[in-house]
Structure 1
């Protein structure tokens, strides 16, 4: 990956604010995808879940095909698109196993070891600076996750190990997305994701196919639309903000997932969730204020 790709800095505070909004939308979409995937996995295999998520995405991008065709024909950075999606597909498989077998808050807590990898990969490949506010936000967010999850014997589970592995895959895939945004629009990045991951998902699903019913359709839509929206919003955020800024903010998915898990599945929620969420929020609030000061006013 090119060492000079960090030279494009966000231009204004308005763009910085837009990036934060896209991060928030991405968090909501990821949680929706998680719920849809978990419900689908009660009757379908995990490999089918990945396939149908991509299939729903294909239906959406066909509707918008005319808008993306000119850029798709240019096939910019196609090798990086393929690399990113093979890495991401593998991470998704491990992550979905965790969503099915572990509480949602635990999955997101384990997944958010990812910022450590993101900060490292962003420094190594994109030459992003490891500024003090970013490091403090990452450390504060990770501490908040530990407060929520309180890892102990209950977290020692093969599925937990797969989620940790998925976190490393996701971090590398995200760095690929950040580099892709230099020459590709967020919409086209998502289109390539569907076009590459759909055949991968289909081949994998054929090895473990279960009967599909009409009752699965709503969950397919939620998982598919959530996945497409989440990655589109994340790419929009990365187009405006550096990767080491985006990911610590995304820690807020942990307390949000805990709340959704409580209301949707009766998963235990207690004071620790709110305490951990407060630590995450405060650490990111300080970092956002400092990062915002680096941007020129509109």
Structure 2
């Protein structure tokens, strides 16, 4: 793996930090919106705002840019990603904000398993250990007061697993599809699907509610653009752990706005997940492979 120039690495870290900050702010908007708005509507606005962001790109590059031979892969990525989004936003509405962010960033622990199942990528012993540690960490975070295996744990684990499936599909799509096309189809298909359950709960929304919904969509999509640019400048294995600062930001917002303080179980779970993701990182895996005797 080639090492990027120091200036690129620092810029990538800065961009990823900004992405994490914006994503945590999105969580604040979703939490406030979820006090009076149903989950289906929040998910719909997250997708449709992203779709409108891409309209200038369509006009600039032309409709031909979005022609694809991988439409079924785009549909699959959109469906599993959308299901994960429903789970994540539900967690934001019902858990401490920092705990909900843990679910968002714990999906890497499932990626090696899914990549092995669908892409036939090799799974090492360290990856299996990492996934096991990560699972324990997620359950520690999801366990509020009602026992180890509760509804929140099932939703959080399910959302993380589905997000990992979406990430693996994106990895396969990037072999032939540019990132802009992948994100566009996710927003388009996600909007078309999520508008159906949203209509069951449709009602006139106040300007404050619309402000939270639109701002959340803008922050989420700008955060994605910052993240994509960061990963173009430096390998994911080197800068990926920077993403976890979003949990710190979320913890700060949770304390400021709702006086939330993480308990011991949550801190333990976060520590375990962070260790698991580091074990799964491409950078560490490559070092472990080089260390093996030939």
TM-score band, normalised by shorter chain: 0.7 to 0.9
2:186 is matched with which residue?
193
Seen in structure 2, the aligned counterparts of structure 1 residues 245 and 203 have a Cα distance that, compared at 3 Å, is farther
- 2:46–2:217 CA contact under 8 A, matched in 1: yes
1:87-126 residue CA offsets vs partner (Å, 9 max, x unmatched): 1111111221111111122223345542221121233434
- 1:121–1:175 CA contact under 8 A, matched in 2: yes
Give yes or no for the alignment of 1:13 onto 2:4. Answer: yes
Give yes or no for the alignment of 1:35 onto 2:15. Answer: no
1:108 is matched with which residue?
101
Q: Which moved more, 1:24-33 or 1:185-194?
A: 24-33
- 1:105–1:257 CA contact under 8 A, matched in 2: yes
Q: CA RMSD of the aligned region, Å?
A: 3.9
Question: What is the TM-score normalised by the length of structure 2?
Answer: 0.75
Secondary structure at the counterpart of residue 13 of structure 1: coil
5+ residue gaps, structure 1, are 1-9
Task: Name the count of aligned residue pairs.
Answer: 284
Q: Which moved more, 1:138-147 or 1:69-78?
A: 138-147
1:152, 1:211 → 2: CA distance?
36
- 1:255–1:277 CA contact under 8 A, matched in 2: no
1:146 deviates by 7.4
Q: Which residue among 260, 265, 285 is the counterpart of 1:267?
A: 260
1:212 deviates by 0.7
Give yes or no for the alignment of 1:77 onto 2:70. Answer: yes
Q: Which residue among 165, 175, 185 is the counterpart of 1:172?
A: 165
- 2:143–2:149 CA contact under 8 A, matched in 1: no
Q: Which residue among 39, 50, 60 is the counterpart of 2:43?
A: 50
1:5 is matched with which residue?
none
1:183, 1:37 → 2: CA distance?
34
Matches within 5 A, 1:234-249: 234-235=227-228, 241=235
Q: Which residue among 169, 176, 199 is the counterpart of 1:183?
A: 176
Seen in structure 2, the aligned counterparts of structure 1 residues 136 and 236 have a Cα distance that, compared at 3 Å, is farther
Secondary structure at the counterpart of residue 64 of structure 1: helix
1:223 deviates by 1.1
- 1:107–1:160 CA contact under 8 A, matched in 2: no
Q: Which moved more, 1:263-272 or 1:175-184?
A: 263-272
1:184 deviates by 1.7
Seen in structure 2, the aligned counterparts of structure 1 residues 90 and 288 have a Cα distance that, compared at 3 Å, is closer
- 2:29–2:216 CA contact under 8 A, matched in 1: yes
1:70 deviates by 5.2
Secondary structure at the counterpart of residue 211 of structure 2: helix
- 1:95–1:163 CA contact under 8 A, matched in 2: yes
2:168, 2:225 → 1: CA distance?
15
2:81, 2:192 → 1: CA distance?
14
2:220 is matched with which residue?
227
5+ residue gaps, structure 2, are 289-294
Secondary structure at the counterpart of residue 206 of structure 1: helix
2:60, 2:21 → 1: CA distance?
25
- 1:45–1:208 CA contact under 8 A, matched in 2: yes
